[in-house]
Structure 1
Amino acid sequence: MRGVLSILACCCFGAGFAQTKRVYWAEDSVRIGDKAQLTILVKNQPKKFDYNPISGVFICDVNHKGETLWKPGGELEIESFRDSTYTQKGIKYWKGVYTLIAWDSAKYRLPELWLTWKDSTFSFRAPNLYVGFVKKKVKEGIDEIPIEPEEDSLRLLKKYWWVLLIVAAGVTIGILWNKRRKIQKSEELSLRERTLLAIKQLKKREDWLHGKTKSHYVGFSAILKMYLSSRYELNLMERTTRETITLLKLKGLDFTMIRRIEVLLREADMVKFAKTELDPLHIQSSLFRLEEIVTELSPLEIPE
């Protein structure tokens, strides 16, 4: 009988705790690189109450589009955690807010969180978070185009169209010839030389000085992934940063080198998706670090 009463007491206390606790997202669906806020709200905060926040990252289960099963290994980067207490209408509240960022498109299921409440420990789980790209609907329609009188210049074009055709053919042949010469010349260069030449051209453009920092980092990450793809016989161009790092680990790269590569890829993701602004010195430092990685990973070249 006492055992039954104990179980009933625990159930009642657990139900009472659930009524005083709320866990919710500011928005349960965000874009890649955007900040998501998870709030833990406790009503009637007792004296014996404690919560130890998680730092670094949440290791979550993920469910990608088209999949039916949850998979381990998802990460939600914790940018910050702050907590506060306040009183409203005579009721004391405790509020904890996580600011999180996800770099992969998926549905995230967070691990269980724990609270110490009146000498008892309780677990609870936050709602799922959806991370993806923005989808826009475009309305179909036909614009009316007014008919303008035919000018004399158009008559001349119709009469001597064959002259324009010859000129266009000559220009096309010239472009293709020059392109072929450039391809032949580039094929004579090693992978290391071609990559360093691409970095040099990217650096020379200085897109970050003309308000094109995002464009710069699109080219930056493409150069790094193309080099790694050719060097280790992988296809990384359509891979996420997490997938790229996983494949490089399977190739046996040492931890320090993988970490250096991950830092550069994460930096590019922050600029491309989170619209982070970086100062010119930091961008130039990233280019220098990229050159170092390419040089260190390339095999020794002995001139003939």
Structure 2
Amino acid sequence: MKIRLIWLILPLIITPELYGQSIQTEVSSDSLATGDVFQLHIAARYNPATYEVVFPDSTQFGGEIEYLSSRRFRGVHSRDSLVYTLQFFALQDTVLTSKTVTFISEDGNLAVSTPEIPLYFKSLLNPEEQNLRPLKPLFDFARSWWLLILFFVLIMLIAFIVYMYRDKLRRKRSLNIDPTPVKPEPFRDPFQHLVNRITHLQTMVAANQQGYMHFYTELSEAFREYVEVVHDIPALESTTKEVIRDLKMRGLDDHITGNMQQILRDSDLVKFAKFNPEAEFVQKNYALAELLLKAIKKHDTDRIDAMRYRYEQMLGFERTAASTQDMKTSKMGEEGT
């Protein structure tokens, strides 16, 4: 009998505070529609000389039950309570989960959990429309749009900095480019080029027979190239007969075509018929070439001037007064001769 009495008294001696603390919970309504606001009342009974009470904060609410506000009331000496204002967002019956109330003392903390409270969903639809449910999700009231705006502004700022940097590099490269324009080549006078080639052959007139082959090759190619450039005749790929025929069709007089034919035929004899000319024969051909140069200059001066004008117009040259005066002086000298 004594042993039983000790077991009954011992818990009261060891933890007398455990049986002196209690909590009560109550809701203002247990039947709620979506969006309804209701109150949760949690009352704590304890010994204030020994304990301090800490009620649940807003972090213990969330999901379908949203925390709005709270207000604390102090009653009698050993009673304290907190009223929470909450909003119901469920679409069906739900449960208000257990919350933790903590009693703090010097000997340690005591955590007491509230009981779960069922909350019943009250539909706003007519009884015959109970099967209908909204398909659109609930609007999220707590989105931080300013973060998206800040991110967009940051991206635009980075893009602007990159654009300015690349534009600066482009301007710097453009300044490093040499502004000096490339000067185009001046017009090459085909007649003067022909004169230079024929004059160069004068040193070969007194050469031996082995040098005559080169003499006649250069002599023939010089006149053929001139005809091809000035009169637009493929003389380098044509026979002597074809060249003379085309020159006559261009309106050249018999004096020019006759001398040209004589020079080209003699050159063909040496190059293709293995003809070995004497020095007197070579001198005669060179003298004939000089006469042909004078006749060509008189006949083709206007044609070459026209070629020079087209070339300068194509490259954007401006004919200077000095060059024009030189051309007039040259023509007057030819007429006087």
State the structure with bigger RCO (CA 8 A, min sep 6), 1 or 2.
1
TM-score, normalised via structure 1 length? 0.36
TM-score, normalised via structure 2 length? 0.33
Give the number of the structure whose residues are more often strand, by fraction. Answer: 1
